[in-house]
Amino acid sequence: MAKSTGRHFLQVPGPSPVPERVLRAMAMPVIDHRGPEFARLGEEVLRGCQSVFRTAQPVIIYPASGTGAWEAAIVNTLSPGDRVLMVETGHFATLWRQMAVKWGIDVDFIAGDWRHAADPAAIEDKLRRDAGHAIRAVMVVHNETSTGAISPIAEIRAALDRAGHPALLMVDTISSLGSADYRHDEWRVDVAVSCSQKGLMLPPGLSFVAVSQRALTASRSGRLPRSYWGWDDMLKANAGGYFPYTPSTNLLFGLREALAMLDEEGLETVFARHARLATATRAAVRAWGLEILCQEADHRSPVLTAVVMPDGHDADRFRKIVLDLFDMSLGTGLGKLAGKVFRIGHLGAINELTLMGTLAGVEMGLAAAGVPHRSGGIVAAMEALCPETSSRLHASAA
């Protein structure tokens, strides 16, 4: 079968589809990044980022991927030989650990099975046993994109408080910012990192670091080398809406539009939409008789759903069939999950009809690939999204 006409369905958990409004906003002539027009743009997007992070503290924007934000968090706050506590929630937690080790950081890594969120009790236990306060930071991935598990950052903050431990709290919000509830100031997070191509609905190319006053204080005594990633020069230039080096001007135009879209919908409404679509997706997966990778229902991500393939069936072969037949991209299994899971992204610029098209493509793909499953996933998703419509369908069929 030849690929159908119409748009490509990009249903990976990032990069997410870029709305037409954002694409048009980026189609602007390049302006002088030292002129007054740019200063107004810079001040506007920096304020807008504070709103999305829900912070009154500084947010720094780098022309980089989320990996750059990871590095900025490490080199600005830590010193060679410092000890940090991290949790193995999946592939991206593992990569952040590997980066820290390369910088000479001593990482105490709480082992995990890639099917659960970070456990606040395990973190508290580690911190209580660190009587000398050798642990300088607790580093957690909020939404683990490889597994579809979201960790309870507010409870982790409470665990630090109960342990009476002064460690910095660093959180990766790369796939949660703008899609799942995150409260930087209320949860007293010290460093949060994120990027542009997930819930902010932009192309890749921007990364973000939200920092607390405690983090800024720590940066003054940190002894890791930094230049491009240094906070001081960025904050000094940002005070006037500028950057110490050439910024990604047209991506910032797009960021201004994306922030406006989130503001118009309202963050609480955005989060509720993501939760509603996630619920419908999981209803479909259960109806197909397939297994959701994240085993804790309360910690399943509103951003994506990772689905376990039945034994003897390869997830990447299934993804290729879906791409070839229906022009839809699904997320691959990463790291030790390669070939074992596929991931359905339901984040960013997505609504009920987009999701129903996505789930129809998955169900047709399961049949085309010969993957054992039950029918009825689409009806189950419809019941979750619109019970009245589903009831009428059942009545008509009867």
Same domain, 172 and 282: no
* pLDDT tens per residue, range 150-209: 999 999 999 999 999 999 999 999 999 999 999 999 999 999 999 999 999 999 999 999
* pLDDT tens per residue, range 327-355: 999 999 999 999 999 999 999 999 999 99
Question: How confident is residue 389, by pLDDT bands cut at 50, 70 and 90?
Answer: low
Tell me whether residue 381 is in a domain.
yes
* pLDDT tens per residue, range 250-270: 999 999 999 999 999 999 999
Tell me whether residue 3 is in a domain.
no
> In angstroms, rounded to a whole number, what is the distance separating the alpha carbons of residues 100 and 224?
11
Same domain, 242 and 272: no
Tell me, what CATH number does 103's domain have? 3.40.640.10
Same domain, 258 and 232: yes
Task: Please identify, among 247, 263, 279, the residue that sits at the C-terminal boundary of a domain.
Answer: 263
Same domain, 171 and 300: no
Considering its fold, how many domains does the chain have in total?
A: 2
What is the residue range of 325's domain? Answer: 9-16+266-397
pLDDT of residue 76 exceeding 80, the answer is yes
> In angstroms, rounded to a whole number, what is the distance separating the alpha carbons of residues 65 and 99?
14
**Is the pTM here over 0.85, yes or no?**
yes
Same domain, 230 and 329: no
How far, CA to CA in Å, does 283 sit from each of 71, 154, 233, 286, 381?
38, 27, 49, 5, 6
